[in-house]
Structure 1
Amino acid sequence: MSFITDPLVYYPISGILWFWHKIFAFLGGFLPWVDSPDSSGAIWALSVIFLVVTLRILLFWPAAKQIRFSRKMQEMQPRMKELQKRYKNDREKLATETRKLQKSEGFNPVLGCLPMFIQIPVFLGLFHVLRSFNRMGNNFGALGMTAEETRNTGNYVFNADEVQSFLDARLFGAPLSSFISQPIDQFQAFVDPGAALDFERWNIILVAIPLMIVSAVTTHLNARISLSRQSPEAAANPQAKIMNQLMLWAFPIGILVTGAFWPMAILVYMVTNNLWTLGQQYYLFEKMAKEDDVAALKRREEQKSLAPKVGVKPVKPKKVRGVATGTAVASEDSVAGGPSDLDDDEAVVAPGVVPTPSPGSAPRPGQRPQQPGGQRTRPAQKSGGGSSKSKKKKRKR
C-alpha cells in the first residue's frame, strides 16, 4: 500500500509541514530571543498547528457537506419510517421507494459519507509522518533503528538534518517526538550520540498531561454541540443512544488513557484540531440556522400572499348562462357605459324582458323543462265558433 499512501498522503502532508517550518524558521531568524530557529520547539509547534489549519481549510467543504448530510438524514427519518412500516413485507418495493425518496430530496448517501472517508486517511497520514521522526523501537510505525540511525534517516520530504532539528526541538523542556510511556533507551535519539540527556520523564509528563486534558475536554464539547442539534426522534433510537454515549464519554476517556502513547506533536495536533472543530461547528450551525430562518420566512410570505385580504369577501366565479336570440340583454358595460365592479361573465337583462334559456341549458328554478328543438310555443286557438259548452246552452233554450 505504500505505493498509494506515499504519493497521495505521506508526501503531501510532510510537504505542508516542511513548508510552514521553513516560513516560521525564516521569520524566527529576525527575533533576537529565538535561538537556533531551525530546531526551536515553538517554531516546530507552530508548524504543526498551521499544518492542521491548512488541512482543515482544505477539508472545510467536505465537513460542511457532512453536517448537511446529517441534517438531511434527520429530516428524512420520519418519512423513512413510514416507508418501512408500509412495505415491511416487501423489501424490493421498500428499496425502490427509498431510492425515489432520496432522489426527490436530492439526497446521495455516497456523497454524504465521502467527507468522512477523506478525513480518516488524512489523520492517519499525519500521525504516521509525525511518528516517523523517531523510528526507534518495534511498535507500530517504528523500524527498530538505533539512535544514530534514526537521526540520520530522512522522513519523506525531510532530509537527515531536518529530522535532527525536529528531534532536538523542545516544547517547555520536552522533546516534540517523545511520549510518556516511551522507554528510556529511546531517549538517546533526542540528543547527539554520546551526549547526556537534557530532560527527564517528568518534563514530558508536565507538558503531555495538560495537552491530554484539553484534548479530552474539547472532544467532549464537540460531541455535546453536535448532539444538541440531533432531533428527538433520532436521539430516541437505541443505537443512536449508544453512539451518543460513546461520543460524549468513551472517546474523551480514551484520549486520557491512550494519550500516554502519543508523541507530543500528536497531542499538539489533537488540541489544535479540536479547537478548530469547535469554531467550525459554531460557524456552520449558525449559518444553517439563518438559512432555515430565511426559508421559513419565505414560506410564510408565500402563504400570506395566497390568503384573502382582511375585510374582503372572496368572490367565486359564476358560470355564464346562454340567452336566446331576440331578447333584450346587455352587459354591464353597455348599460352603464363603462367597466363595472361585477364579474365579466355576469349579464344585465333589460326590465320587462324575461330571459329565455338557450337550448340544452339547465332550467331555472320554478320553470318547466323545455323540449329540445327551440322555444316552446302555445297552440293557436281555432278561429270562429264557440266552445262546446256555449253550443249546449243554445240547444236547451
Structure 2
Amino acid sequence: MSFITDPLVYYPISGILWFWHKIFAFLGGLLPWVNNADSNGIIWALSVIFLVVTLRIMLFWPAAKQIRFSRKMQEMQPRMKELQKRYKNDREKLAVETRKLQKSEGFNPLLGCLPMFIQIPVFLGLFHVLRSFNRMGEQFGALGMTAEETRNTGNYVFNADEVQSFLDARLFGAPLSSFISQSVEQFQAFIEPGAMLDFARWNIVVVAVPLMIVSAVTTHLNARVSLSHQSPQAAANPQAKIMNQLMLWAFPIGILVTGAFWPMAILVYMVTNNLWTLAQQYYLYEKMAKEDDAAALQRREEQKSLAPKVGVKPVKAKNARAAGSAQGSAPRAQEGSTSTIEVEGDAPSASDAEATPAGATPAPGAKPRPGQKPHAPGGQRSRPAQKASGSKPKSKKKKKKR
C-alpha cells in the first residue's frame, strides 16, 4: 500500500509541515532573542498547529457535508420506520420505496459517507508523519532503529538534517518526539551522539499531562455539542445510547489512559484538532439553524400568498364556470344599482326598452319598460311611484258588465 499512501497522503502532509516550518523558521530568524530557529520547539509546535489548520480548512467542505448528512438522516428516520413497518414482510418493495424516498429528498448515502472516508486517511497520515521522526522502539510506526540511524534517516520530504532539527527541538524543556512511557535508551535519539541528556522524564510529564487533559476535555465538549443536536428519536435508540455514552466518557478517558504512549507532537495535534472541531461545530450548527429559520419563513410567506384575501370568498374549482359568469354580470349589476337612484317621473329611454324583450322579466335593479310597473327584488311588487301631474288615475276596480 505504500505506493498509494506515500504519494497521496504521506508526502503531501509532510510537504505542508515542511512549508510551515520554513516560514516560521525564517520569521524566527529575524527575532534577536530566538537562537537556532530551525531547532526551536515553539517554531516546530507552530508548524504542527498550522499543518492541522491547513488540513482542516481543506476538509471543511467534507465536514460540513457530513453534518448535513447526519441531519438529513435524522429527518428521514420517522418515514424510514414507517416504511419498515408497512413493508416488513416484503424486502424488495421496502428497498424500492426506500430508494424512492431517498431520491425525493435528494439523499445519497454514498456521497454522505464520502467525507468520512476522506478525513480518515488524512488524520492517519498526519499521525504517521509526526510519529516517523523518531523510529526507535517496536511500537506502532517505529522500525526498531538505533539512535544514530534515527538521526540520519529522512522522513518523506524532510532530509536527515531537518529530522535532526526536529529531534533536537524542545517544547518547554521536553522533546517534541518524546512521550511519557518512552524508555531511557530511546532518549539518546534527542541528543548528539556522546552528549549528556539535557532533560528528564518529569520534563515530559509536566508538558504532556496538561495537553492530555485539554485534549480529553475538548473531546468531551465536542461530543456534547454534537449530541445536543441529535433528534429525540435517535437518542432513544438503545444502540445510540451506548454510542453516546462512549463518545461522552469512554473516548475522553481513553485519551487520558493512552496519552502516555503518544509523542508530544501528536498531543499538540490533538489539542489543535479538537479546538478547531469545537469552533467549526458551533459555526456550522448556527449557520444551519439560520438556514432552517429562513426556509420556515419562506414557507409561511408562500402559505400566506396562497391563502384567500380578507373579505373574498374562495372559489372552488368545480364552480369555476359559475364564477366566470358572475364576473361577467358584475358590471351590469353595478350599472343597474346606480340607475335605480333616479328622479321619480323620468321616462325610460328607448334603448332600455329595446334591450328588454317583451314578456321577459327584467334583471333586478334594471329600468322598467314603458307601461310596466317596477318590481321589487325577489319578484314582489313594490309600491307604485307617485304619478306625474296631469295624468289620469286608473281605476283599480273593474267595471261591472251590464
The bucket for the TM-score relative to the shorter chain is 0.7 to 0.9
User: Which structure 2 residues correspond to residues 9-24 of structure 1 after superposition, within 5 A?
Assistant: 9-24=9-24
User: Which structure 2 residues correspond to residues 73-152 of structure 1 after superposition, within 5 A?
Assistant: 73-152=73-152
- Distance (Å, rounded) in 1 between the aligned partners of 2:171 and 2:333: 99
User: Which structure 2 residues correspond to residues 27-46 of structure 1 after superposition, within 5 A?
Assistant: 27-46=27-46
Q: Against the structure 1 CA distance between its residues 204 and 338, is the aligned structure 2 distance closer, same or farther, given a 3 Å change threshold? A: farther
The one-letter code of the counterpart of 1:264 is: M
Give the match's secondary structure for 1:219: helix
Give the match's secondary structure for 1:141: coil
Instruction: Show the counterpart of 1:181.
Output: 181
Give the match's secondary structure for 1:94: helix
Return the offset for 1:337. Answer: 6.0
Report whether the alignment pairs 1:353 with 2:360. yes
Name the Cα RMSD after superposition. 2.3
Instruction: Show the counterpart of 1:261.
Output: 261
Return the offset for 1:302. Answer: 0.9
- Distance (Å, rounded) in 2 between the aligned partners of 1:248 and 1:92: 38
Greater shift after overlay, 126-135 or 305-314? 305-314
Instruction: Show the counterpart of 1:246.
Output: 246
- Distance (Å, rounded) in 1 between the aligned partners of 2:244 and 2:216: 16
- Distance (Å, rounded) in 2 between the aligned partners of 1:55 and 1:349: 88
The one-letter code of the counterpart of 1:146 is: T
TM-score normalised over the length of structure 2:
0.81
The one-letter code of the counterpart of 2:301 is: E
The one-letter code of the counterpart of 2:122 is: V
Instruction: Show the counterpart of 1:283.
Output: 283
The answer as to whether partners of 1:333 and 1:339 remain within 8 angstroms in 2 is no
CA deviation vs aligned residue, 1:276-302 (integer Å, no higher than 9, x gap): 001100110010000000000001111
Return the offset for 1:334. Answer: 5.7
Q: Against the structure 1 CA distance between its residues 39 and 312, is the aligned structure 2 distance closer, same or farther, given a 3 Å change threshold? A: same
Give the match's secondary structure for 1:181: coil
Instruction: Show the counterpart of 1:370.
Output: none
Could you list the runs of 5+ residues in structure 1 that have no partner in the other structure? 322-329, 341-347, 356-397
Return the offset for 1:240. Answer: 0.7
Question: Structure 1 vs Structure 2: percent identity of aligned residues?
Answer: 86
Instruction: Show the counterpart of 1:372.
Output: none
Instruction: Show the counterpart of 1:194.
Output: 194
Q: Against the structure 1 CA distance between its residues 199 and 85, is the aligned structure 2 distance closer, same or farther, given a 3 Å change threshold? A: same
Greater shift after overlay, 253-262 or 137-146? 137-146
- Distance (Å, rounded) in 2 between the aligned partners of 1:296 and 1:122: 37
Instruction: Show the counterpart of 1:380.
Output: none
- Distance (Å, rounded) in 2 between the aligned partners of 1:51 and 1:255: 21
The answer as to whether partners of 1:219 and 1:252 remain within 8 angstroms in 2 is yes
Q: Against the structure 1 CA distance between its residues 339 and 202, is the aligned structure 2 distance closer, same or farther, given a 3 Å change threshold? A: farther
Return the offset for 1:314. Answer: 3.5
The one-letter code of the counterpart of 1:353 is: A
Could you list the runs of 5+ residues in structure 2 that have no partner in the other structure? 339-354, 363-402
Q: Against the structure 1 CA distance between its residues 112 and 332, is the aligned structure 2 distance closer, same or farther, given a 3 Å change threshold? A: closer
Return the offset for 1:315. Answer: 4.9
The one-letter code of the counterpart of 1:257 is: V
TM-score normalised over the length of structure 1:
0.82
Return the offset for 1:142. Answer: 1.0
Return the offset for 1:141. Answer: 1.2
User: Which structure 2 residues correspond to residues 43-54 of structure 1 after superposition, within 5 A?
Assistant: 43-54=43-54
The one-letter code of the counterpart of 1:10 is: Y
Return the offset for 1:44. Answer: 0.1
Q: Against the structure 1 CA distance between its residues 318 and 19, is the aligned structure 2 distance closer, same or farther, given a 3 Å change threshold? A: closer
The one-letter code of the counterpart of 2:104 is: S
Return the offset for 1:352. Answer: 5.3
User: Which structure 2 residues correspond to residues 218-229 of structure 1 after superposition, within 5 A?
Assistant: 218-229=218-229
Return the offset for 1:308. Answer: 2.2
The number of residue pairs the alignment matches comes to 341
Q: Against the structure 1 CA distance between its residues 336 and 112, is the aligned structure 2 distance closer, same or farther, given a 3 Å change threshold? A: closer
Q: Against the structure 1 CA distance between its residues 336 and 124, is the aligned structure 2 distance closer, same or farther, given a 3 Å change threshold? A: closer
User: Which structure 2 residues correspond to residues 386-397 of structure 1 after superposition, within 5 A?
Assistant: none
- Distance (Å, rounded) in 2 between the aligned partners of 1:291 and 1:62: 19
The answer as to whether partners of 1:136 and 1:142 remain within 8 angstroms in 2 is yes
The answer as to whether partners of 1:332 and 1:339 remain within 8 angstroms in 2 is no
